[in-house]
Amino acid sequence: MYNSSFLSRQTFNSVISDGCDLSTAFKRVLSYFDPNKGKNFRSKILDCSYSLVLLEKDSRLFHIDKTKNLTGSVKEKQYDIIVYEPPRNQNFCQDASNSSKFFSTLLKHNGIVIVKMNDFKEKGSNRLQGSFEVWDIFSDAGLYLFDNIVYNFFKPSNTCEVYDRAEIIHLYFMIFKKGEGK
């Protein structure tokens, strides 16, 4: 499943549960999957997230465009990394579908999309939504799931809490690439 350009690296643990904060966990994921790591130039990042996982001090390491509106000059550029956080509301699937199609045109050949998200229950429903829908939607847009990193920031005392409190126990960093998965 791994691309040959990643084979020489040590494997990345698929679960981050050492108690680090979200920003640190994200930077670990970003550092490992950065397609330009070890090269003499900075990766160009489009940050379409609602939270502050990339800070101003990160601009010395990356070229960062931050936006929630995928229009204007953004649509005329190509990016090495796109960071996306879908909304957790009734527009979830539509927003993810529109964004994934747009991202597939903005992504450079070896680029990645990092989707940062929690599974959630829509108001008035008991159905858990999130990662599986994103996987399907992004696949339809020509992006395949390259890796999935789980960030645990809450350790339940028993397994019954996992289903009742899924959205506050963990989140995912889903790594997507262009093309077909191997």
Residue 105 lies in a domain: yes
Higher pLDDT, 70 or 83: 83
pLDDT exceeds cutoff 90 at 76:
no
What pLDDT is recorded for position 40? 84
Residue 85 lies in a domain: yes
Ramachandran bin of 108, using left for φ above 0, alpha for ψ from -120 to 50, beta for the remaining angles: beta
Give residue-wise pLDDT tens across range 108-121. Answer: 989 999 999 888 87
End-to-end Cα separation, the chain, in angstroms:
5
Residue 27 lies in a domain: yes
- Alpha carbon distance 70, 113 (integer Å): 15
What pLDDT is recorded for position 155? 53
What pLDDT is recorded for position 162? 44
- 137: domain CATH number is 3.40.50.150
Range of the domain at 133: 13-178
Q: Environment class of residue 116 by beta-carbon count within 10 Å: exposed (0-12), middle (13-18) or buried (19+)?
A: buried
Residue 3 lies in a domain: no
Structural domains counted in the chain: 1
| H runs (alpha helix) in 63-165 | 92-106, 131-140, 160-164
Give residue-wise pLDDT tens across range 13-68. Answer: 788 888 888 888 888 899 899 999 888 888 999 988 877 666 666 767 788 888 87
Residue 8 lies in a domain: no
Residue 7 lies in a domain: no
Residue 6 lies in a domain: no
Based on its alpha-carbon atoms, the radius of gyration of the chain, rounded to whole angstroms, reads: 16
Q: Enter the pTM of the model.
A: 0.81
